[in-house]
Structure 1
């Protein structure tokens, strides 16, 4: 499953490496167990640090963005993670290929929104409704489709109704994702007109 805001994979990987390293040093290399254990402990600590997942908003200048904006974006994303995970899990449970693909597409769009907000926390307010309303509702609808589909005698009309809602939700997801791109473009249209006017004045074309 997608790593939305980081996980404890560094601890698991460090533990696995250490579990293999200590016996190898003890039995294959003939090293005393206590020395192998000390080396294993040092390797474990080093790997935990080196493989630690990047923290949310790591590297951003809080003074430039503002502590309040950063806290708002963090709270919004962290609250949305369970819904994003449910959406992704529902896609795996759905057997209808077309619907499963649509739900996976919703999860991919959500991941794009997460990345954009993490890179630019000040954009969080523009997708607040998406993260707090549309994403949880999409997870519920996708889970509902999987539940109906799992019945011995699924209601075909009910499945079609859910499919229709998922299509509309896909439109809403695309709308909010594109709104972040539009916001990033800013004054591009104005800049283009000014450049064209300058070119016409200087080059006559």
Structure 2
């Protein structure tokens, strides 16, 4: 019951992107690992010609958004929604990303462009339907902590434009720049809520 209440209230967390006079609000959903610890927040995305649904973890450490491609057979790619592109994938790029906690991910990705939208309650909130927005289809993935992320299909990057270890342009910022949209991004958090149980009070 407590877990349910935490989840329901956490759904109120929103991420807002200010685009001129219009503000897009995208609800963030809490993600819990296999050990039931809170590991982050996710957004809902639909990608590709059939707008297949994906759950993407918000990532502020790495520059590339990605989903699992059809050629990935690594253990970390299993049981995830596989991306099928509208177009033939030609270009492959390999990057090594070192994380701040000194763990690492080795990722081989194919950079591509396709239909991409963030949505909530079946209504699209932000659409990326042109070549200004790029993301990756993973060919191989080595990830120390992937067992904690079995409920997500990939990453949605909110990292600044350039990462120190790669020349990949951060696609969301690039998209907003190309569209002459002010690159203002805020995260709105709910107020602290105290849940009283028989034995203790929990504030979060």
**Normalised by the shorter chain, which TM-score bucket?**
under 0.3
Q: Which has the higher contact order (CA 8 A, sep 6+)?
A: 2
Higher strand share: 2
TM-score relative to the length of structure 1: 0.24
Please tell me whether Structure 1 or Structure 2 has the larger radius of gyration of its CA atoms: 1
